[in-house]
Structure 1
Amino acid sequence: MSSRDVVLGRVRRALADVPHGEGPDDPPVVRDYHRVHGSRTAAQDVDLLAENLADYRALVHRSTAGELPSLIRRLLAERGARTVLVPPGLDASWTAGAGVTLVGDRASSTPRELDAVDSVLTGCAVAIAETGTLVLDGGPDQGRRRITLVPDHHLCVVRVPDQVVGSVPEALPRLAPERPLTWISGPSATSDIELDRVEGVHGPRTLEVILLASSRAAD
């Protein structure tokens, strides 16, 4: 008996109790899990997001719309950033007066060219409070996935409370599964067998998150 016969035999035994003609989409899937965990307010979700982001060693800042350009300018200056990669749909006012060279998100950019960029500035699609996770979906203010994986410094703006949800089940309906989703929980890091932590292996070594309060939240 070949390995193929063994595998097919196991498949047949596993399917022995399946009614004839039933397809994989026919049985109803029970999805009665809790989407909302607890009874936090929107403000408490934002606070929990900030706490979990910091726990993952992301640097968290809070800002209003009026303060945002000066905050971005200061954060880039503190890193000594001279080149900043920006997606095509990013609000131009965010980088006004930043004193840096803006690099466009181009399909022709090579990994070497992306690695030479000092920082990347993006928005996000949704942020998950309970897991401290930012989700990017390649939208106009986020750009191609690779621009947030190659440069060493990622500065991400999250509009709060509008883009913040409490749990992963709450986030999923906001996301289109056919889009290029990037889930980010803190800066890139890995550990070897001796648990020595190394950052920047497969993404940015430094993640900074700006929680941008909407005018509604500020009122």
Structure 2
Amino acid sequence: VLKDIGLERYGTAGLFVKLLTPTSFLVFVILQLRYFHVPFLKLSATDRYRTLPDNSNTTRSDDEGNLQNITEDEDDNLTSDLTEQSKGRDGSLRNWMKKKVLAAAELWNRFTIFLWRLGEIHVFKLVALIIIIVSVNEVSALTGVYVLLVAILLPIPRANILLSHLILIWTTIIILAKMIFQLSIVDTEYWKTSCQDKNSNSSDGNVTDNAIWFGLE
């Protein structure tokens, strides 16, 4: 029982290996919060597509506006450089490459914005597709609930939030149930049944594990 809840004696090498995984996870979490959390929140903010208050004539997002300002500044710099420098081949090639890089950056920015918007629109469909694939690959009574939830609530647009919450709760229940079933205190023999012939009192030797049918393996 103590081993099931994580209380076990280890040697020096074994203790180091056991502590390596949670320590590495903690380090990655700290790095993510320190260097990547704020940029990700800005990238996934719900108001990132809103226009600036002092610019009512444009419909671009904040990211597109910033990129446009950078492009205009670079174009001004390129114009001043061309007036100061001679119209040599090296200068023209450098300016041409700068323009191509800026054009490629703007194209990539538009493409990423399109992908984010497409993902926001079809995120529930993608989640439903993954759920159906998981249910088909692992057929059991527990995963059958997923199919029922998706079939009933997915066609209702207003029920998408409810669907996500129910899937989250049911997934948590399945994970906890499977983890508890792995403990040594669980009587696995309780789930096994033997098929008997009605014409005789002896068993035919076929033993069925109902835990597999239920989804607890």
* TM-score bracket for the superposition, by shorter chain length: under 0.3
TM-score (norm 1): 0.18
Which protein has greater RCO, CA pairs closer than 8 Å, 6+ apart? Answer: 1
TM-score (norm 2): 0.19
Structure with the largest fraction of strand: 1
Q: Highest Rg: 1 or 2?
A: 2
